[in-house]
Chains A and B, each alone.
Chain A
Amino acid sequence: MFTTGSKLLLGATALSVIGTIVYGIAVGGATGTLGLVAVSIAFAFLAGINLWVRDSNVSAMDTAGIETCAAANEPTETSMWPVVAGLGLALVPVGLVAGFAIAWMAVIVLLVVTVEWMVLSWSDRASGDPAYNASIRKRIMHPMELPILGAVGLGVVIFSFSRIMLYKPGNAGMVIFSGVASAVLLFGALIAAKRNVGKALVSSLCSVGAVALLGAGVATALDGGHEIKKHEVIGDDNTCGEEITEADHDPTRAIAAKANLAATIILENGQLRAEIIGIAGNPSAVSLLRSNDNFVKFKNLDDGDFRLTAYLGDEKLNAGTDTEVVVEQIVCTQAVTEGGTQFVVIKPPLPSFAAAEDAPFQFTVPGVETAVLSIEVP
């Protein structure tokens, strides 16, 4: 009664309906349920069409037809799609329980199986020539399969790499892949040297390597990589006063590879000293450009949490009016622990000769009275 080709579609229709019911009851959600309903309708429509046209139908009494009809012949090659379909079917209920990612993966697998298996079945029965059948299958499917498989394969490789690299902090990833790269190089050299290495051996080794990479990637991904702390370059706590409410305990990673600094100000033994590009030794004053972003790095070599503060004079706002206000121009870094570094961007609005005699422009470290360094703004 049911033609060969339509049996699959009927099964898919039934499964879609079951899935719709299960999803609708277990999970709910209009979008998912509607999607599965649409799938069920689509499969039912295809099944109905196939039944109506009696596609791939050979009469059971037509023994000659059974023997000669291409559709009744054995398929030219074994097919993995039934196994994959079973896997997909098994993953559907698992995904509905464990998580939507697995459920969506199962749906994608089933869609792929549907398309591939249908095309394979169609091409196997297109003619009596197996080679021709294979070629037309490839002609139809390769323009889709190869780019998708390539992208997916590349993505899996990249993802696996990244998970392994992120598994352990520090240089573990570098060490691992240095070893792996050396092994690949050795392997390649051996193959190049021994010309009569069997294709099967090479394929097996490559497969082992790929599985190992995938397995390691999945394992490390499930383990969930090491924590990457995010640090602000400039810092959140810039109240600039003596009270330290928060110190950056691991600020070094936040410092980008700034090629050129106006100055590096170092707190050591209660004293501030400056290191400036092109100037030997430690100058007694730091020259900063007026109206320019000057990148200054503060490095704390003393025990304790300290910040660097830059006093750049007092600016009068609304000068000469009743609302004249004097605003202290101070910028500072966030407090850093011993060994830490932080940036501060200093843009002096005034020249240093505008400073009062008793309040020159200078770097200071709140809480360390001896840590003072002059700032000159021409």
Chain B
Amino acid sequence: MGRSADHMTSVGSVPDKPRPDQLRTDQSGDSMTSSSRSLRKRMALPAIAIGAIAFLSACADDAPQDTFQPAGENARKIDNLQRPPFYIAGIVLVIVSVAVLYCVIKFKDRGQALPKQTHGKPVLEIALTILPALILIGIGIPTVSTVFQLAKTSDTECIINVTGQQWWWEYDYPVQDGCGGVTEPIVTSGQMVFPADEKVLLRITSRDVIHSFWIPKLNGKKDAVPGRVHTLRMEADQPGIYAGQCTEFCGLSHAYMRMEAVALDDAGFETWKANELEAYTSPTDEAALTGESTFLANCSRCHQVNGVEDANGDPVISRPDLYVYSGAAPNLTNLMMRNTFAGAAYDLITQECRDRIWSLPPDEFTAAYLEGVTPECLDAVQLREWLRNSPAKKPMYTETDKLGPTDEKTRGMPNLNLSEDQIDEIIAYLSERK
């Protein structure tokens, strides 16, 4: 850099030849230069203010999907990989920015002659080729190593099948020895429950288009591709809720296709499993009982509640494959054990309860979560709006006169035109589903 610094020094002090514009004597050139300078000065302050606002707004206090706050082993590996290059890149950015600013200010066009032009600095060019190559090699080696570490799935202890469809996530727990033993398949949606501090294998696929599963605090992204099964290992250090969302554009409500991973302690997870496999009991409350009939008449053709029977005593089996393009609809068996609905886009609980649950320390979280949605915490407003007109809450492809391309099947839940009484009854019934 010494030689180039000398060269730069020579620019300001040894004018070699007059510049073409110095031969011009037009006075209007001078007035134009001064007016453009004052314009730049006037714009500088707002530009700096906007930049500062944008920069400072990135410092969010509450960022549930902050990838820089890893809460699991795999996320930590990714974080450990990205931080050093981030810092190095930051330092390089500062150096380059300072150098550019220095040159811009120090050697600003003040009418001085053009400096002597030189061509090529072999030593500098070679050095500036080798240095980035070395940096890339330095980044590449740990990157490849981390990739292989993240791909390892042979040490997992619990298997969950994750299926994406427009626009929600389904989680089913196949019969297995892992997860503390699962004797019957469990299916749920929106919130994926798993044991904390245990390596979980997610087998991810899709029923329709390509989606992508991402819980930033726990792991990187993995695409859900129809016809393929992609494995992803995940682990949470402590009990808690971890937010995520679909990260592959999948249609109208891609932005509303959220997910939450709920890590419970071992005992809590066993309790949750047992609860999921509990036999269905008909409601005793009159309103809920009426709601059961209303649910069966309006909702059960797509939404399954395990164990519910019709008037003849036969199990009611939903057939979403006949009405929904993806062939599935969320299982609502224990809806009130979850905090969210509609693809985790909306809360079943009030904001106050949500803030409380989300901020609980790990040792208190499991018990609070297993309470489910209590009557005091139930946010019936959101649920009511959804039942009143779901496409208005979440854009979906449900207009009956436009279903030709999807064989007359909807993508998402249509507006069922329920009356307010019906909505009340259904909410009363669903409130007992836990």
Contacts and interface: CB of A to CB of B under 8 A. Distances in A.
B272 to A, nearest CB: 16
B321 A277 contact: no
A277 B159 CA distance: 11
Contacts of B306: 353
Contacts of B230: 260
Contact of A262 (B176, B229, B327): B229
Contact of A354 (B227, B229, B315): B315
A267 to B, nearest CB: 21
Interface in A355-378: 374, 376-378
A351 interface: yes
B321 A378 contact: no
B207 A354 contact: no
B231 A278 contact: yes
B320 interface: yes
Nearest to A280: B154
B254 to A, nearest CB: 20
Contact of A378 (B156, B186, B203, B317): B186
B328 interface: yes
A283 B203 CA distance: 15
Given A287-B161, A291-B207, A353-B306, A279 B227 contact: no
Contacts of B201: 278-279
A287 B172 contact: yes
B153 interface: yes
B176 A283 contact: yes
A273 to B, nearest CB: 15
Interface residues of A, number: 29
A87 interface: no
B12 interface: no
Interface string B173-210: 11110000000111100000000000001010101000
Contacts of B203: 277-278
Contact of B328 (A259, A262, A291, A353): A291
A185 B196 CA distance: 59
A330 B430 CA distance: 35
B321 A349 contact: yes
Nearest to B185: A378
Nearest to A345: B227
Contact of A287 (B154, B156, B185): B185
Interface in A305-327: none
Interface in A247-268: 259-262
B175 A284 contact: yes
B174 A292 contact: no
Contact of B327 (A279, A284, A292, A377): A292
Contacts of B317: 350-351, 354
B354 interface: no
A376 B321 CA distance: 18
Nearest to A284: B175
Contacts of A295: 227
Contacts of A353: 184, 306, 315
A279 B320 contact: no
B195 to A, nearest CB: 17
B390 interface: no
A287 B174 contact: yes
A351 to B, nearest CB: 7
Interface string A151-177: 000000000000000000000000000
- Nearest first, the 10 A-B pairs at minimum CB distance are A291-B327, A287-B174, A378-B185, A378-B172, A378-B187, A291-B321, A260-B228, A260-B229, A278-B231, A285-B175
26 contacts: A259-B228, A260-B228, A262-B229, A277-B229, A277-B231, A278-B153, A278-B156, A279-B201, A284-B175, A287-B174, A289-B163, A291-B320, A291-B327, A292-B328, A295-B227, A349-B321, A350-B317, A351-B304, A351-B317, A352-B185, A353-B184, A374-B175, A376-B175, A378-B172, A378-B173, A378-B185
Given A293-B227, A376-B185, 20 more contacts: A261-B229, A262-B229, A278-B159, A278-B203, A278-B229, A279-B201, A283-B174, A289-B161, A289-B172, A290-B321, A290-B328, A292-B163, A292-B205, A292-B327, A347-B327, A351-B317, A353-B184, A376-B174, A376-B184, A378-B186
